[in-house]
Amino acid sequence: MNVKHLTDQIISKKSFLCLGLDSDLNKIPKHLLNEVDPIFEFNKLLIDSLNNLIVAVKINTAFYESEGSKGWKTLEKTIAYINSNYPKLFTIADAKRGDIGNTSDRYAQAFFKHMEFDSITVSPYMGSDSVEPFLQYENKNTIILGLTSNKGATDFQIDNDGSFDLFKKVLLKSKDWKNSNNLMYVIGATKSSFLKDVRKIVPDNFLLIPGVGAQGGDLEETFKNGVNKNIGILVNSSRSIIYAGNDKDFLKKSYIEAKRLQAEMNILLDNIND
């Protein structure tokens, strides 16, 4: 899927909501533990229930890799289910990969060719030759970590002594990489005050924005500072939706939370030209 199709979905659904599947066996409703593959069943039920409210799904691979081969199989089953039943949903492998050429090339093959994700998150710290192997895939997007939502982001990404922020250098340099039009950027909602600076550097690329909800980011401020002519933002929500309930009516509670966010997004999109 390319970004034009993603924009079309945003306009059609009146939503720029990305569902984060940080699915934890210790947190899902206990009645699902009787299933052969509890996490897959949990993911499947959520996607079936929420697909009309969301435009993207972000699968945090750590929650699957931590379970060994069984977890990896659940990951494969989840992405295959989305691709088969909801092909218009934009899929993100939140894997935060990044290594020199041959290794990055193999990571790209795993997530783009084998599992057929639309995009993957990548750490840009090692520079262009660690990212460009991902960028060679047509209609696939590489989402590099720009300014993240965690507390430790200020250790390196923002320069507190008044010098040029490292995250800005990353954004500027990445524009020179081959096939940089396939880049998207992670910018945390808890750093939404920086979004205007981000848009001065990368006005046209999509931004993946975590941190709204459980981490305290403000949706309206994020939208106001981050939106571009193609909408250009995906706001991810994970825990506040998927763990809204933990009993047999968990889907109802998850739907209520997702609908609340989508309704706010609808209003923001309707007022975009006001």
Read off the pLDDT of residues 70-111 as tens digits, 9 standing for 90 and up: 999 999 999 999 999 999 999 999 999 989 889 999 999 999
254 belongs to a structural domain: yes
75 belongs to a structural domain: yes
| Predicted local confidence at residue 152, as pLDDT | 76
272 belongs to a structural domain: no
Range of the domain at 192: 3-267
274 belongs to a structural domain: no
| Predicted local confidence at residue 151, as pLDDT | 74
96 catalytically annotated: yes
Closest CA to 193 of 226, 156, 215, 159: 226
User: Which of the pair, 78 or 210, is modelled with greater confidence?
Assistant: 78
32: helix, strand or coil: helix
- Pair 148, 186: CB distance under 8 Å: yes
Provide the whole-model pTM: 0.94
172 belongs to a structural domain: yes
59 belongs to a structural domain: yes
273 belongs to a structural domain: no
User: Which of the pair, 159 or 200, is modelled with greater confidence?
Assistant: 200
What's the structural domain count of the chain? 1
Q: Which of 96, 224, 253, 259 is catalytic?
A: 96
- In this structure, how many other beta carbons lie within 10 angstroms of the beta carbon of residue 160? 8
To which H or E segment does residue 126 belong? none
| Predicted local confidence at residue 213, as pLDDT | 60
Please state the rounded mean pLDDT for residues 131-143. Answer: 95
| Predicted local confidence at residue 176, as pLDDT | 95
211 belongs to a structural domain: yes
Q: Which CATH number is 44's domain given?
A: 3.20.20.70
